[in-house]
Structure 1
Amino acid sequence: MRFTLRSATLGRPDASALADVDLEVAPGEILTVVGPSGCGKSTLLRTLAGLLPPLAGEISQDDHPLVGPAADRALVFQEDALLPWRTLRANVELPLAIQGLPRRQRGEQADAWLDRVGLADRARQLPHRVSGGQRQRAQLARALAARPRAVLMDEPFGALDAQTRAGMQDLLVEVLRGTGATVVFVTHDVDEALFLGDRVALLGSGRLTAVRDVPRPRDRAAHDDPARGALRRDVLTSLST
């Protein structure tokens, strides 16, 4: 899925958050979005999800106006948003049931996704019986089970400890491989943005200030890479101004 924003003003009628946004998100890329609190990151995400119409300008999906929520765009929050009375398996089945898949088929697909995120042995547990990291794994499985063409992620790993967070980042990259899904990932964490993103978008002072390509290959150990170090300094400087 391709997203295109042209001279877009985003927010609510009584309080715009971002103005004059020109941005294109390419099909299949991971675009990470960073910026200080209150800069409009979540507003951008909710606009792409179809939950907030633009106040001005144009927003399109595959060259067609983006109007309202749609099943081919999945939204993932920092809070896992799992239904507490449903098992992990039943939570992952939910979007498949909405799509009208037969019970047996959606059960098989849910089991396959839970296995893929390492939760095959937790399928029949209720959310409160598993850890925060496991709930986020289940939320990721639920989001991807319906095969969305775009996944919009609002700081999904922000509440996790450092080790669990790193594991979730690795898992996200692994499970996205081969899906072709376009991902827009909001984060406060610069290192997370540079590890996950093919490009990183910088927001500040109510504007999109820059979009930078991220050096590849994706490697946690590449701390000494001059290009990555320069980009990290550039992003941190942008956030501090």
Structure 2
Amino acid sequence: MDVIVNGHKTFCYTGGKPFDPAKPTAVFIHGVLNDHSVWILQTRYLAHHGWNVLAIDLPGHGKSAGEPPATVEDAARFVIALLDAAQVGQAALVGHSFGSLIALEAAAQAPARVTHLALVGTAFPMKVSPALLEASLHQPLQAIDMVNTFSHSMLAPPPSMLGPGTWLYGGSRALMRRVLASNRRVNVFHAGFKACDSYTDGEAAMEKVRCPVLFVLGTGDQMTPPRAAQPLIDRARQSRVVRLAAGHQLMGEAPDGVLFALRDFLAG
């Protein structure tokens, strides 16, 4: 499904079901150098169980046009504009990593429009090492290999994700290379990392959030260790924390755990 946002086409994966404004809506926001496909299992389930899902490609990523967001705040304003363009009054926001900061900031900018906030693999501050920032700019393919080493705690996902024989490292690396190549004008890898590293308003944003907040954290996450989410957990008004045996790419390593956490949270 394509939605025109700020004059540009935004691709939204709907889980194989037509969008129905009468149903509750959940917007899924990916992390740095990812796209909508990282949410395949979770979005398909919700789409077949009473929800609209809009799993987006951020502007300038994958199948979406427009200028890639330079800051978390810019990306949050885009998400709110997407709700306007899709004529969605209120929605649940689900974000992973960089996407979790975007979802958090959008919920702070427009608290009355967000019914649930789910932060997967989150941290604040979400600092990026200078070496990785530099590599993402000047040696992005090498940086992709570095990120994949730190983002996974296992080689193959459970069968519920993509089936036997799937190689998590290889699939994730191929996705990141594809998203990087989708924008020849802007290095969206470096832009995303810089936006994460520069975001300073996470605690203040959480204090503005009115809705329940779910934290889904990986006990083996080296990119955003569970303890790094504590400043946000401490400031959330209504929080629920789920810890899963997984690394940073929880949707692939613990697909059922992420799905069940979201399903139960959104049912509340």
Q: Normalization by structure 2: what TM-score?
A: 0.29
Compare CA radii of gyration and give the structure with the larger one. Answer: 1
TM norm structure 1: 0.31
As a proportion of its length, which structure holds more helix?
A: 2
Higher relative contact order structure (alpha carbons within 8 Å, sequence separation ≥ 6): 1
